[in-house]
Amino acid sequence: MSPKKALGQHFLFDPGILSRIAELAEIAPGETVLEIGPGPGGLTRELLARSDRVIAIEKDRDLLPDLRERFPTLLLAAGDALELDWHQLTGPGPVRIVGNIPYNITSPLLEKALTPPRPKSVVFLVQKEVAERVAAPPGGADYGALSVGVQAVAAVERKFTVPAGAFRPPPKVDSAVLRLRPLAEPLLPDSAVADFRRFTVGLFGFRRKQLLRGLRELTTAPPEQAGAWIAAAGLEETQRPQELAPRDFVRLFRTVYPPIA
């Protein structure tokens, strides 16, 4: 079956890399594995060798007959991973999420994977540039709202790079494997995650401006109010958004929106 450009398909066939990805999921007995986009089933085979219960979501209906024939124990859900209810598919109990996901929908898939109740871990093969952004520490050009949003709820590990030549057809860029382990105690309550995401995205819209100016423009607050919020959060008015660690963002968010946070 040929990969479909319209679906952003780039199939990974290297058995060594597929095995390494499956190992990173750290699947324990009794845990459910949810695979996003099994494609031709290379990673599926590795996951089934490690788990008795693998559920796979596949949008390309042309791939379904072959997957069903080759993997009779695989629980296959036909549809768009962004539209299906993952929690309903997996049911209660510990879940591991794994996938070689399309580049063009990486951010919404990351957001969905970290929607409560969160899994034990998420292992995604993504565009190298996105992996660097998710794992970036404060201060660099790669650090942004995506970094803060993910790191506020999960520990992030950028594990290894996968060259474009390992895929068919090869993409135009290299890829990298990310492993996310949701924090036992996220930096903010689940009920505030969506509002926090909007806050960080908004503030990073002023990443070149000092914090006082950016916060004033984001909230339309007068200078003295914005300055009071910054001081209450233990920050400096002259700092810029990319200099703030996730915990700094959370403290600032709580001072600006205490009823939400």
Domains and CATH numbers, the chain: 5-182 (3.40.50.150), 190-256 (1.10.8.100)
Q: What pTM, to 2 d.p., does this model score?
A: 0.93
Amino acid at 149: G
Average pLDDT over residues 159-172: 89
Q: Is 138 helix (H, G, I), strand (E, B) or coil?
A: coil
Centre a 10 Å sphere on the Cβ of residue 165 and count the other Cβ atoms it contains. 10
Q: What is the pLDDT of residue 4?
A: 45
pLDDT over threshold 50, residue 246: yes
Query: 187 to each of 40, 94, 190, 254, how far by Cα in Å?
Result: 38, 22, 9, 11
CA distance 16 to 91: 31
Contact 76, 64 (CB under 8 A): yes
State residue 170 phi and psi, 5-degree precision. Answer: -70, 130
**Packing angle, helices 193-204 and 246-256, rounded to 10:** 110
Q: Is 64 helix (H, G, I), strand (E, B) or coil?
A: helix
pLDDT over threshold 70, residue 260: no
Q: How far is CA 65 from the centre of its chain?
A: 29
How far is the first Cα of the chain from the last one, in angstroms, to the nearest whole number? 49
Give tens-digit pLDDT for 218-235: 999 999 999 999 999 999
Average pLDDT over residues 156-183: 93
